[in-house]
Structure 1
Amino acid sequence: MLRLYVLVMGVSAFTLQPAAHTGAARSCRFRGRHYKREFRLEGEPVALRCPQVPYWLWASVSPRINLTWHKNDSARTVPGEEETRMWAQDGALWLLPALQEDSGTYVCTTRNASYCDKMSIELRVFENTDAFLPFISYPQILTLSTSGVLVCPDLSEFTRDKTDVKIQWYKDSLLLDKDNEKFLSVRGTTHLLVHDVALEDAGYYRCVLTFAHEGQQYNITRSIELRIKKKKK
């Protein structure tokens, strides 16, 4: 199904047709809301990828489509002309830093001479406190008495084309230093290796990536709730 969808989107949706068919572009087809909601922390960078245009497809279709963003069904496109915290780049809408007032539903519209469709994605920006951990954490599961890997999720927009990825890992707000024999942050990746998983390893973990933009450093934080399952007998 994925291959068929990409084929349709790549050939039909983004191929310019003769001007005689431009009437079809005036009525946009709404494809629904993206299955994934973006839960992010205030003060950190956010990149919303247009759901219809994955990054790997952007270079080939960008010369042939017009991509716009709207928020909460407003007729006004975002970002506005005077907006300094928000910009569109390579098929994604960037917010830096994100504020709680940025929460809402964002609609991405892709259009060419003969085709138009829309899809929405929901963003919620939370205050950076432990009280919201249950809402923003990604559940991950490891098996008792084995070695496993935690993955710092949803960082591709910030780590693409980088080979020097450095992630700092925390458990219950305590930094897991590089000399820790139990936990090993795999250099150049978003992975944390957990040796000999025990029940007490369950809990909340944070992974933090530093992101530089126009001379300023920003933290990008992802929270993980580790759950431990027992081996099947």
Structure 2
Amino acid sequence: MVHLVLLSLFIIESVNGMSLLTTPPMKDGCHMVSPEVNILRVEEEAIILSFPIFDRALEVRNIDPLTAKYLITKDDRTEGGAYHGEGRVQQRDNQLWFLPAQAADSGKYICTYRNETYCVTGSIYLHVYESSSVDVEQLSYPIYVIVGEYLRKSCPSLGDFNHTDRLIEWHKGSSPAPPQAGSFLQERGRLVIPAVSRSHAGVYTCRLRALINEQQYKVSRTIVLNVEGVDPVTSTTSTTVSDLSVTSDPGLISSSSTVHTPVIQPAIIVFPREGEHFESLHGSDRELSCKVLTGCQTVDYTEVTWLVNNQSVESSYLDGRALQGGRRVTSVSEGCQIEVRLVVIAITEEDEKTELRCVAQNQGGRQEVVVRLQLEDSTFTWLVVAAVAVSCFLFMVSVFLYVLFKPKGNKKKDYFLARQNSSF
């Protein structure tokens, strides 16, 4: 009986996508959700703080983030010092805008939702660097590519700004000068390098002029491009080298040797298949796996990665809800197999329209496979829940009726003890 009840709770928990047995920790009467990812930016630029993990916590509890009333404060301020919709620092619904930011804005910010019966709070840490003490390594978004790869990179983390791609400009290093011919291209606000070489490695900065309240503000992001592999030597597949010697015998034929350049086999994606759909329940988690077959001698030069709507996971809207795991290499009969996993947390209807792309590439070529998530029809699951609940109810009724109408059996005769020669 106990096992049936626990099974029912487990199924209902899976359907709802949230735990029925645990609750977030509490502080000052408020449930505390997990902290947001830290934000590192530069002063004199526009910054928008948002709270996606906090918004997700409200959504799971059927609180519409669009209608919820928020209070955003700095950790060293009181509620009486809350921000408003005007001034240099403004609260706009569930976001905090810095127009522009200053180094003194660094600190921890608290976002709180409270009504008559429920309170939830989340936090995010913002570090604003002074222009003279910018740490490029901490501010940058690292990108790893291999020699010969076709690179097409969007300016990361601009989703909160209203902008057009033509307003974005890319520069290499600290120089604002336009790129030299052949170094890289700019296409609709994206950094494009048709064939990456070792010389392309370095720091790239994308700059945007954001128009807010009819005033322009600076916004910039920095990526560090790390290039792996060796630039190919310009040569044909086979080269004949003649060793001409001056000899006394004019009839002697000069010797020659042929040097063969090894042919690199392209990586082949063996799983998943193109166009495949992966079903998941609303609010549940889903783990996807990309398996690539390649030669064991080219494993170190074969890159396997997941893209979300043709963007890196960290630059997509799934940042914070999706995590790309490390690569695992195993030896198989055909060569070596590389496996890279992608975990998507708390799947919603919006994710059904998302294009998940596994990309495998090395010097031998490039292959892509596009898959999509699909919400599973919950009708069958609810039928299972109902069946378990009905089974539990019928079992309890059966036990009750059995105890109530249990046959008594033959009663034993009653006996009385009496002294001998006594009268009853």
TM (norm. structure 1) is: 0.76
Residues 58-207 of structure 1: matches in 2 within 5 Å? Answer: 60-63=64-67, 65-72=68-75, 74-76=77-79, 79-80=82-83, 84-129=87-132, 131-159=134-162, 162-175=163-176, 177=178, 180-187=181-188, 189=189, 191-207=190-206
Bigger mean CA offset, 141-150 vs 36-45:
141-150
Distance in 2 (alpha carbons) for counterparts of 1:102 and 1:118: 20
Return the letter of the residue paired with 2:211.
Answer: A
Asked if 1:33 is matched to 2:32, the reply is no
The number of aligned residues is: 207
Q: Structure 1, residues 135-187: CA drift from partner, whole Å, max 9, x if none?
A: 2111111221121122311100113xx55542110101234647844422221
Q: Structure 1, residues 22-75: CA drift from partner, whole Å, max 9, x if none?
A: xx9x821111322x1100110111100023126xx7x95333x22111212533
Match of 2:55 in 1: 53
CA spacing shift, 1:210–1:5, aligned 2, 3 Å = farther
In the alignment, structure 2 segments of 5+ residues that lack a partner are 1-13, 19-25, 230-300, 303-361, 363-424
Match of 1:211 in 2: 210
> Does the Cα contact within 8 Å between 2:72 and 2:82 map onto a contact in 1?
yes
Distance in 2 (alpha carbons) for counterparts of 1:132 and 1:73: 25
Cα distance, 1:203 vs. partner? 1.1
Which has the higher Rg, Structure 1 or Structure 2?
Answer: 2
Q: Which of 1 and 2 has higher RCO (CA within 8 Å, sep 6+)?
A: 1
CA spacing shift, 1:79–1:180, aligned 2, 3 Å = farther
Distance in 2 (alpha carbons) for counterparts of 1:199 and 1:77: 55
CA spacing shift, 1:120–1:165, aligned 2, 3 Å = farther
CA spacing shift, 1:90–1:131, aligned 2, 3 Å = closer
Bigger mean CA offset, 177-186 vs 97-106:
177-186
Among all aligned residue pairs of Structure 1 and Structure 2, give the percentage whose two residues are the same amino acid.
Answer: 29
Match of 1:220 in 2: 219
TM (norm. structure 2) is: 0.44
